[in-house]
Amino acid sequence: DIQMTQSPSTLSASVGDRVTITCRASQSFSNWLAWYQQKPGKAPKLLIYKASSLESGVPSRFSGSGSGTEFTLTISSLQPDDFATYYCQQYNSYPHTFGQGTKLEIK
Amino acid sequence: QVQLQESGPGLVKPSETLSLTCTVSGGSISSYYWSWIRQPPGKGLEWIGYGHYSGSTNYNPSLKSRVTLSVDTSKKQFSLKLGSVTAADTAVYYCAMYRNGYYEGWGQGTLVTVSS
């Protein structure tokens, strides 16, 4: 199995800040990585696929990059609606695996 | 737009079988792969496996001995059976759909508690 490790586990930031979340994989792969946003009591929502492709309807302040073993999700200017937990997911191989999550909190 | 709705018992006794169904509306069940993903309270996401209308399946090795997934195209439903459950199987269970590996759509999730 490919293990996905996110950092940090918790991130405190303010509205307007630029934030970056990192996802590291235990094995190298191309760009078969997705990012999701999850709010309390809700299902995850797809933000980014293929490492850097923005899902339709997702604001352009979200962006993704990376390949190999290191991937990043960047939010260019935090909005109040962005405070949530974020997960990365690899789909290079089965079983699909997720990072442990990064909780983005209001500072 | 495809919508997914999970259904099934919210309480299952230890050692029994957990059975859930995902009903698909607004789209073709043959157009996607269908997965179950679970999330224990306060924890992260775990992929359980996928099913496809063709009959192909793939299970997480950590659960493979206890899981059966199936797709019923006539009812537009995707089902999960997880046997010999313990308290560690307590989680919110989501059904989700994909074509290219990433999950484009999710159900709202259903909490299943394993307790006597």
What is the rounded average pLDDT for all residues in chain B? 96
Segment A20-46, tens digit of pLDDT: 999 999 999 999 999 999 999 999 999
Model pLDDT for residues B7-64, shown as the tens digit of each residue: 999 999 999 999 999 999 999 999 999 999 999 999 999 999 999 999 999 999 999 9
Cβ–Cβ gap A87/B44 under 8 Å: yes
Place of tokens 């399946």: B57
A60 at interface of B, judged by CB pairs closer than 8 A: no
- Please give the pLDDT value at position B45: 98
Question: What is the per-residue pLDDT for A99?
Answer: 98
C-alpha–C-alpha distance, residues A5 and B22, integer Å = 30
| Subunit contact B103:A50, Cβ cutoff 8 A | no
Neighbours of B36 (CB within 10 A): 27
Beta carbons within 10 angstroms of residue A93's beta carbon: 13
- The answer to whether B18 touches B111, Cβ cutoff 8 Å, is no
Per-window interface: A 67-96 vs B, CB < 8 A: 87, 89, 91, 94-96
Cβ–Cβ contact A29 with B under 8 A: no
Mean pLDDT over A82-92 rounds to 97
- pLDDT at B67 (0 to 100): 98
Identify the pLDDT of residue A74.
98
The pLDDT value given to residue B40: 98
A49–B108 C-beta distance less than 8 A: no
Determine the pLDDT at residue B72: 95
- Contact indicator for A33, A5 with CB cutoff of 8 Å: no
Query: B residues 15-44 near A, CB within 8 Å?
Result: 35, 44
